[in-house]
Structure 1
């Protein structure tokens, strides 16, 4: 299982939101690249990046901060937030991002995403509120069940699915194991848990499922409730 430390970027700064609400942003660093270096020193192999402004705007909004992170760090990186077309995918991959995350477009236009997965390294982000897919930076909820969307991507060539329980994101209330497992079973694709991770017990519980391929860690690191070094040692 891979642990993905997260850096969410808003207005060029590293922040964390609660339940995806932009006005809940708490700033943790004015220089996000410094956090990338910190994660590297703790033993990370991958970094999870989100352009929060981009997620709402539908286009890249924090390119300079992302470029700097890429220049300063040797970590593998996956990035999401406002990626809606092939041009943007190519732009990020040309920057040295290893794979891109398609979220809202994955719910609206699965055929486009499947086409992109034939050419590029694509991860699908499935964000859910009460089991239903949330889009547009979680500002809207669709009528589609998250598990149905996961099934859509079975055998599609998509590298992984990141599933986020929006109601838990940034709350340190514990990861939604059942939801994550349901997405993994529905898709048959490597599934990465996101939202609510609190401490080492969440990491152990995800490992115990034997099916979850990864987990994104954000606020638990920033607020000191999870020792990342201990977590990395557990999954090695």
Structure 2
């Protein structure tokens, strides 16, 4: 048996109009505000023991440019753990600006479909600091804050980046996101097996059982959870303790 790295749990802070919120199915009209002070929320996650933070600029995803820069910068200043950010990051200047401000990793979503050469250029320029966000309905990639669906299949797009040097793929099943119905474990594991790039599961991760099932696939590198942590359905400290136990694989 050989040891494999523990799966990383990324607490999610979705930012809309300067607040920490959660959406249902990516619908900006189905918003629940959980904290008026995103930096305080981030510190609470860090105090519980998290080793990464997952941030999303929801307004930015629709606008195509950063909108919630102030709360992101406040989080970066308040928290010693690395953070990754997606939403509205669609050019090299924005990528470089965020990394200069202390962000550990940028997540490129829409441009992965519309300008894949930018992803490759960024991954070469900033090794280990560029991830691709693949958000899908029915296996097809959606872009621009999930508002536009494409005919691009998730696995095909992921495979196209095999030689790009990206740090991770964040795979979100949109129909599971914020719905507390569990992640799409089969689709996420299938994607992870199809590529050598580490895959992080997102959308519907709402219980210890979900995390255990994702971990036990043996191929999923991380999981993102938001609403379940805010609602109390998932205890962050307990989840982190469980995931810290090393996995074994033949």
3-state SS in 1 of match to 2:216:
helix
Distance in structure 1 (CA, Å) of the matches to 2:197 and 2:41: 29
CA offset digits 1:109-142 (Å, max 9, x no partner)? 2121011101111000000001100000000110
The Cα shift of 1:183 comes to 1.6
Greater RCO, 1 or 2 (C-alpha within 8 Å, sep 6+): 2
Distance in structure 2 (CA, Å) of the matches to 1:183 and 1:56: 26
Distance in structure 2 (CA, Å) of the matches to 1:89 and 1:111: 14
Distance in structure 1 (CA, Å) of the matches to 2:194 and 2:59: 31
Distance in structure 2 (CA, Å) of the matches to 1:163 and 1:203: 15
Number of aligned residue pairs: give it. Answer: 236
Distance in structure 1 (CA, Å) of the matches to 2:29 and 2:133: 22
> Given the alignment of the two structures, is residue 170 of structure 1 paired with residue 182 of structure 2, yes or no?
no
In angstroms, what is the RMSD of aligned CA positions? 0.7
Partner of 1:73: 79
Partner of 2:144: 136
Gaps in structure 1 of 5+ consecutive residues: none
Distance in structure 2 (CA, Å) of the matches to 1:87 and 1:182: 34
The Cα shift of 1:155 comes to 2.6
3-state SS in 1 of match to 2:164:
coil
The Cα shift of 1:186 comes to 2.1
2:92/2:118 contact within 8 Å kept: no
> Given the alignment of the two structures, is residue 209 of structure 1 paired with residue 217 of structure 2, yes or no?
yes
Partner of 2:113: 107
Partner of 2:233: 225
> Given the alignment of the two structures, is residue 190 of structure 1 paired with residue 193 of structure 2, yes or no?
no
Moved over 6 A (4+): none
1:152/1:187 contact within 8 Å kept: no
Partner of 1:21: 27
Taking structure 2 as the reference length, what is the TM-score of the superposition? Answer: 0.93
Gaps in structure 2 of 5+ consecutive residues: 1-6, 245-250
Taking structure 1 as the reference length, what is the TM-score of the superposition? Answer: 0.99
Distance in structure 2 (CA, Å) of the matches to 1:183 and 1:122: 19
> Given the alignment of the two structures, is residue 156 of structure 1 paired with residue 164 of structure 2, yes or no?
yes
Picking from 89, 93, 107, the partner of 1:87 is 93
CA offset digits 1:31-83 (Å, max 9, x no partner)? 00001110011000100000000000000001111111111111110001010
Partner of 2:60: 54
Distance in structure 2 (CA, Å) of the matches to 1:19 and 1:100: 22
CA offset digits 1:191-231 (Å, max 9, x no partner)? 00000112000010011000000000101101111111111
